[in-house]
Amino acid sequence: MGETTRRLMQGNEAIVEAALVAGCRFFAGYPITPSTEIAELLAARLPQAGGRFIQMEDEIASMGAAIGASLTGTKSMTATSGPGFSLKQENLGFASLTEVPVVVVNVQRMGPSTGMPTAPSQGDIMQARWGTHGDHPVVAMAPASVGETYEATIKAFNISEALRVPVVILLDEVIGHMREGVEIPRAEDIQLLERKGPSTGPADHLPYADDGTGVPEMAPFGTGYRYHVTGLFHDETGFPDMSNATADTLMRRIMGKMERHRDVYEWTETTDTEDAEVLLVTYGSPAQAARSAIRRARREGMKVGEFRVVTVWPFPEERLRQLAGGVREIIVPEMNLGQLRLEVERVVAGRARVSGINRTDGDIFKPDEIYAGIREVYGGER
Amino acid sequence: MNDKLKAYFRTDHLPHIWCPGCGNGIVTAAIVRAIDDLGWSKDDTVFVSGIGCSSRAPGYLDFNTLHTTHGRALVFATGVKVARPDLNVIVITGDGDASAIGGNHLIHAARRNIDITTICFNNNIYGMTGGQYSPLSPTDSFASTAPYGNADRTFDLCRLVEAAGASYVARGTTYHVTPLTNMIRRGLEKKGFSFVEAMTACPVYFGRRNKLPTGVDLLNWQRDNAVPVSRAAKMEPEELAGKIVIGTFLDVEMPEYTETYERLLKEHAADRSGE
Ligand SMILES: Cc1ncc(C[n+]2csc(CCOP(=O)(O)OP(=O)(O)O)c2C)c(N)n1
Ligand code: SF4
């Protein structure tokens, strides 16, 4: 209560502290570098907050346990990295379809496979969107600093609760382990969202009915609302129904709720875009190097702006489209060989030329490299 | 079904999807009878299942019900139990669900001795997918993926669960319904991890391929091959080949996971002001 405080912490620690503030009271995990600190810290901190921690036998189990706990009305989280994120995918899809709120942290490391366990990467961007099978709703966020990780974690729980959707927080090893000063907001300044409870008694409750918002009401298990949750397609009663009409209604509702509630999750930052000829589209830790590169280019008279996406999925299409109309060149710096660039190209659709600056050696960007990339597109024209 | 038991079913979701002669209804009725004997409240009881014919049972039961992913029922159930230790948690699983894809979770749930009762519907086959052999299919039996007979060695899941650290382990059959019901009741009552393997009939896939084409043939097969655990103890391994040993293998009192966790928190995490 009272004042804001400033604390030095790691990205992984910011996840833990913010999750507790957001009301997380259950965590299930399995150790993996570079996310392990999250489990270690929560093992100590959760019980102090009245929550419960469990180390499961693998990441499939951790994902399932987090979903099970959430069904009792407990805000739940799991955390992992590359190989573990792959294992979580089937149950993550279960959460998407059954609309069980859950937060999944993936501190990205170099892959595929065991790859380079301690090296940073942004190689899981597309997996975060399309990792599980079938069309499905999911939110993914990629904060660019430790402070923003704190903020994003609280927001992740809020989005997950408000829209009944799994939210993935994509850190990378740099932010996971970097220490930065974080401004901790005053408790009264933090807005928390909770899942919407049932508005009727158990007899009239329809667990998957659309009340007009696209997001059904959710009753916790063990409170008198005896209903069925299944990963089969289901109608508004929650029971399996394999008819084409029910499948169509269900899929369009769970995808439609995402389109409809963009205001709940969309989070982008624009800097220096008013007069920009060249636009950097950034996310995650490379945004820090990009920022200094842009400042330097600006000082030298190059008209460079930045469009930073914090919520990567669903992608902020409209916003980028507007910006793309005013620039001639878009550069996407990524610690992969151009995953988000694919999405940027799709959205920009020829309005501007799109190129990438890419690292895939397990090292981080230096501002110079991004600056050189900017210079290159300016070429001799200046 | 009598009216008393009817109250536990979602009668508007019946009839069930199971084939004529399928034993799954018998096991489900035994579970409900055991719950009724104990007087458990429907509101405070959660059924969790995996994927398979047997795992469809919770959909017909008027409780908090959760039909999860193949092999993973126990992990979802663990999340429910750790978050709400006051709820009764029951897992329904098939032999393939429990022993193949979900085998590791079974080991670890038993090892933790978490207070969950698991009922494994063992029909010796993958029913839902059309009759492929499971780790519990007898060696030499036929399946759609074992057209020349099953070369795999069959698995005694009860012994696995016992070795892994459970508190209660038993095997019954759909022929011997009353003992099966009693085993389930004992499993439910037991504080700790309980495992009841219920031998059940899949005439359509296991039976037809193995010269036991009807539900009645399979019930008779259970009757003719069942050996009580006390008698089995005096028999030679060769005599026991092809037999179904039934009865209680383990019934002990041991510290339960959620209680142990709570105790440790009381002892070592006294400072609860961290919030
Ligand atoms: C990950 C995954 N792999 C495979 C399947 C296909 N599948 C569905 S049910 C099943 C086996 C069911 O057999 P069992 O557990 O013995 O249950 P039964 O149907 O006999 O009751 C399989 C392999 C699946 N649903 N998910
Ligand atoms: S396939 Fe076998 S197990 Fe499945 S419902 Fe039919 S008889 Fe029962």
> Which of B16, B49, B132, B202 should be mutated for ligand 2, with most atoms under 8 A from CB?
B202
Please, are residues B183 and B119 in contact by the beta-carbon 8 Å criterion? no
The answer, yes or no, to whether the previous bond of A112 is cis (omega within 30 of 0) is: yes
CA–CA separation, B275 vs B13, rounded Å? 45
pLDDT (tens digit, 9 = 90+) per residue, A54-94? 999 999 999 999 999 999 999 999 999 999 999 999 999 99
- Segments forming the whole domain that contains residue B192: 2-273
User: Is the domain covering A268-377 a CATH 3.40.50.920 domain?
Assistant: yes
The pLDDT value recorded for residue B110 is: 98
The pLDDT value recorded for residue A2 is: 63
* % of chain A exceeding 70 in pLDDT: 99
Ligand 1 near B127 CB (within 6 A): yes
Q: Is this prediction's ipTM beyond 0.90?
A: yes
Note whether B15 contacts A: Cβ–Cβ < 8 A. Answer: no
pLDDT (tens digit, 9 = 90+) per residue, A31-51? 999 999 999 999 999 999 999
**How many alpha carbons fall within 13 Å on the CB side of residue A196?**
19
Give me the residues of A, 29-88, that contact B with CB < 8 A.
44-45, 47-50, 52, 54, 56-58, 60-72, 74, 76
Closest-CA residue in chain B for A22? B275
pLDDT (tens digit, 9 = 90+) per residue, A306-328? 999 999 999 999 999 999 999 99
Nearest alpha-carbon partner for A164 in A184, A203, A193: A193
Q: Which fold has domain A5-189?
A: Rossmann fold (3.40.50)
pLDDT (tens digit, 9 = 90+) per residue, A200-223? 999 999 999 999 999 999 999 999
Residue of minimum CA distance from atom 22 in ligand 1: B129
Segments of chain B scoring below 50 in pLDDT: 273-275
DSSP code of A35?
T
Note whether B16 contacts A: Cβ–Cβ < 8 A. Answer: no
**pLDDT at residue A381 is higher than 80:** no
Integer Rg of chain A from CA:
21
Torsion from C-alpha of A239, A243, A248, A253, nearest 10 degrees = -10
Q: For residue B146, list its beta bridge partners.
A: B143
Please, are residues B229 and B247 in contact by the beta-carbon 8 Å criterion? yes
Contacts of A74 in chain B (CB under 8 A): 83-84
CA–CA separation, B226 vs A262, rounded Å? 61
CA–CA separation, B125 vs B210, rounded Å? 11
Average confidence (pLDDT) over A339-355 = 98
The pLDDT value recorded for residue B274 is: 46
Number of domains into which chain B is organized: 1
Which residues, 6 or more positions from B198, have their beta carbon under 8 angstroms from its beta carbon?
B27, B30, B119, B120, B121, B122, B171, B172, B173, B174, B180, B184
CA–CA separation, A11 vs A29, rounded Å? 17
Beta strand A26-29 with A76-80: parallel, antiparallel or unpaired? parallel
The pLDDT value recorded for residue B3 is: 83
pTM above 0.80, yes or no: yes
**pLDDT at residue A1 is higher than 80:** no
* % of chain A exceeding 90 in pLDDT: 97
Residue in the block written with tokens 């990524």: A334
Same fold, A5-189 and A268-377: yes
Domain ranges in chain A? 5-189, 202-263, 268-377
What's the CATH code of the domain at B170?
Answer: 3.40.50.970
**Would the CB atoms of A65 and B67 count as touching at under 8 Å?**
no
